[in-house]
Each structure stands twice: as C-alpha cells, then as structure tokens.
Amino acid sequence: MRGVSLPTHQYASAAQAWIESKQQPDGDKSASITKSLLASSCRAYTRVVLRLRAQAEAEAAVKAAERPHNTGPPPSASSANINTRPPTSYSPSSRPVSPSSSIGHGYQNSYLGHGSSAASHSRRSYTDLHAQLPTSTRQPYQFRSPLFRLGHAPLLRVFVPSVEGMWLSDNSVLDCEKELKRAGVLSQMRVGDVVWDTAVGDEGNIGRMVWDGNYLIDLDYSYSRTGDLPQYIHTLAFPPSYFHRVIRTSSNPICYIDISPWSEEIAANLQLLQDRLRTETPQGAHHTVVRWIHRSSFRIRSNPHRNSPITIPNSQNLTVDPAWYGTIVVETEGTNEGLADLQSRCKPAFPIRAGTDPKKVGSRVFRLLRERSRPGEIWICIVHDKERLM
C-alpha cells in the first residue's frame, strides 16, 4: 500500500536525503530507515505487478477458450494496436493512400520486377474453477488495473539511490539487479520488462532500463534525447504499442525491424510517389508541403497452423507477435540516398551497388508512424544515419 499511495517524486527526495546523511559523520538514522522501507515497498510493488500480469493472462486464456473457434488472432492482440481509435475515424483525405490502392499515383520501377509448465498448471486450475461456476454467474472478462495493462510492458520498480547522480553507473545497475533478486521475481521476468529505479527521479526516462532475459540494459540515446528501446530488442516480438507510455518517447518512436526476409515483396511493390505533408509554421499558420518519397509494402501472413508461429530471423527463437500480422508500409525519402538505404536493407532482392561492402548488414532502425497506422496496416519509415545524435 505504501508503494501505491506514495507520490513518485518523494522517492527521489528520500534518496537525496539518504545520500546527504551518508556524507556526514553522524548521519540521520531516520534516512536509512526510510531507505529500507522504500526499497521494501518497491520490491512488494514489483511482485504485485507481475502477479497481476499472470492473473490477466490466465483469465484471458480462459476467455479465449470459451470463444467460438476462429482462425484470426485473439482480440487481446488487437488491444495493442497503435491507435485505439476505430478505423472509421480515418478519412481518405487525412491519411495517405495504401500502396495496394495507389496504382496510377506513381510509377513502378521496371528493374525491380524480380520480384512454461507452472504457468499452464495455474491456467488449468483457473479453468477448472471457472467451469464449476453456474452459467448465469459467469461474466464477460475485462481485466482492469491501474498497475498493469494487458498487452503492454509492466513497469517494475526498484529503489537504489545513486551517488553518481541521475545517470546510473554500472555498480548501480548491478544493485538494481540485486534488488530484483531480493524481490524473488527473476524467474517471472521476461524479455522486454521495464525496470525503473525510482530513487533517481521521474523526469523523462531517467532510471528506466529494459530486461533482456539476463541483465538490465540502458535505453539507447542514439536517435533521441529522451531515450528509446535498446537495439538488442526485436520489435516484432512485441505488439506495436507494447512500450507505449511505459517508455516515454516521441509520437513516432524508434523500432528495430529486419525487413530482409520480405525483400522480394518490397522490391516488387516499390513506387516513387508524391506525398503531401501538412506542416505548421512557428507563427501558427498551416501549409502543405509536397515531397517525393519511395514507398513499398509487404505482408506478414499468419501461419495456417495456429501452433506454428512465425520465427523472427536472426533472433533467439523469438516469434512475431500477432498484432503485426497484416500489411507493413515502408517509406523513405525520394532521393537516390534514400533509395540506396532501402536497398541496403533488402540486399537479397537488389543488385549490390558499386563501392558498397556486400558483407555489411543493413540497418534495422525505423520509426513507427502512429498517426498513419491502423489495425492491420502499420506504417514505418527509414531512419538514416544522418539523424543519429551520438
């Protein structure tokens, strides 16, 4: 209850008070007591959040088992769509036309024509208990909690005051991992879980780290001053909005996708188009800018065998999340450099350009265009090396 009711900004104040007390010969003992209480509260908070995730997934599995059999992905996957607005909110004049319907708006390039056991036991137990209830008492399941949202990453907490300041040192990160071990949750954590050191404050993404399955990894600041997902995280393994509002990013966050398996399809659908972009001037006026872009698309098709998910290439047996099934639209600027960047990411379908290293792996950095995306159609654009900040 302390972890839920205490305002988050007070964690940093308590951490600073403890650091100042340690620098004095006869430090305030109350600061040490407060530090111990807050660390214990964060461990309890983390255990509760992971317990809520297990409960939400078990109850969702029960609901899925009770639904009539269908071949599409479960609704829980669609809850992670980029936009929560219904598709009817998109008007033809406010969205770019899909590549599948843009024939005649550009030209088709002629030279591109080549084209676990414990978890399952808990679910079975819950199913057995639910089946014993009278039919009239069974209510439609809708999990709600302010601490966890189904289809989103959990935000776990630790309390580790850092004497080096807001930027955690290697020793502080190791202490955060020790706190997770003290909480007894390492066996329940998954790749992509976000851990926040509440002792360093609540400004932006300060103190936020991502669990890679073995260690805590800092966020990446190569393309953003607020921080994005580390490049070691495969974006396709999670729903498009899995980290939305958990890791604070811009409206179009960075994502890491290897599009080379769909190179032939991307090459066959590649077009050079005119795109109209509505921009706002510093004085508040709006005007439309016409630009040339290269646009293509590919489809991630669900496997006809429901028990055989799509494996992500060059990953440790990770699979594509069903929320990505559908059309993926890829954009880049309509310059020779933009086209070369796209071709370098789709080497199997394009001839190797002179002066390029054939062994160099194409970049996986894209931006997720939230405003243009909708269920079943996700838009991404290429992020070039010139946009790198550091």
Domain extent listing, the chain:
1-79+122-218, 81-112+256-387
Whole-number pLDDT of residue 99: 52
Give the integer Cα–Cα distance in Å for 114 and 301: 20
Question: Maximum Cα–Cα distance for the chain, whole Å?
Answer: 79
Whole-number pLDDT of residue 362: 65
The token pair at 326 is 């559908």
Give the integer Cα–Cα distance in Å for 152 and 146: 12
Token look-up 């809850």 returns 79
Whole-number pLDDT of residue 181: 97
Reduced to 3 states (helix: H, G, I; strand: E, B; else coil), residue 84 is coil
How buried is 327 (Cβ within 10 angstroms: 0-12 exposed, 13-18 middle, 19+ buried)?
Answer: middle
Q: Which of 224, 227, 214, 222 lies closest to 166 in space, CA to CA?
A: 227
pTM here is: 0.77
Alpha-carbon distance values, 238 to 84, 150, 172, 298, 310 (Å): 17, 12, 28, 19, 13
Query: H helices of the chain, where?
Result: 2-5, 9-22, 29-66, 75-78, 117-131, 170-183, 263-269, 336-345
Q: Which of 287, 52, 45 lies closest to 148 in space, CA to CA?
A: 52
- Give the helix/strand (H/E) hosting 372: strand 365-374
Per-residue pLDDT of the chain (390 residues; tens, 9 = 90+): 888 899 988 999 999 999 888 888 776 788 889 999 999 999 999 999 999 999 999 999 998 888 765 544 544 444 444 443 333 333 334 455 555 444 333 333 333 333 344 444 444 444 343 444 444 444 455 788 999 999 999 999 999 998 877 778 899 999 999 999 999 999 999 999 999 999 998 888 999 999 999 999 999 999 988 899 998 889 999 999 999 999 998 789 999 999 998 999 999 999 999 988 777 777 778 888 888 999 999 999 876 666 678 888 777 788 999 999 999 999 999 999 999 999 999 987 887 665 555 555 568 999 999 989 998 999 999 999 899 887
According to DSSP, the residues that pair with 298 across neighbouring strands are 328
The token pair at 385 is 């090396």
